[in-house]
Amino acid sequence: TTGLHTDDIKRLLKVLQRLVDEGNTVLIIEHNLDVIKNADWLIDLGPEGGDGGGQVVATGTPEEVAQVKESYTGQYLKPVLERDTKLTEEAQK
C-alpha cells in the first residue's frame, strides 16, 4: 500500500474482503497497520529486518499478536486496535 491514499487503501480492503467472502485465500505482505488490523491471521517475522530477522515472532489474530511483547508489529498494532475499540464503543452510545 506504499504510496496509496487512505481512500484507496479502504477501497483495496473492500476488494480483498470480497475475495475472501467468495472463498478465496488472500496472502498479503504488508507494513500498513490499517491493513494488518483487518487480517484474519498474522505471521509476524522478525525480530529485526535483514540478517536480524526471518524468525517467526508471533502468529494469531491481530488481537493476539498485539499481546506478544516480543513482536514489534504487536507493539505498534495494540494502540491502533485500542483506538478502534474505543471509537466503536463511543459510536454505539
Question: 28-64, pLDDT tens digit by residue?
Answer: 999 999 999 999 999 999 999 999 999 999 999 999 9
Q: Domain map of the chain by residue range?
A: 6-88
CATH architecture of 6-88: 3-Layer(aba) Sandwich (3.40)
Report the C-alpha gap between 83 and 37 in whole angstroms: 12
- pLDDT band with cut points at 50, 70 and 90 for residue 2: confident
Of 44, 37, 28, give the one whose Cα is nearest residue 79.
37
Average model confidence (pLDDT) across the chain = 95
Q: What percent of the chain has pLDDT over 70?
A: 100
pTM of structure: 0.87
Report the C-alpha gap between 93 and 90 in whole angstroms: 5
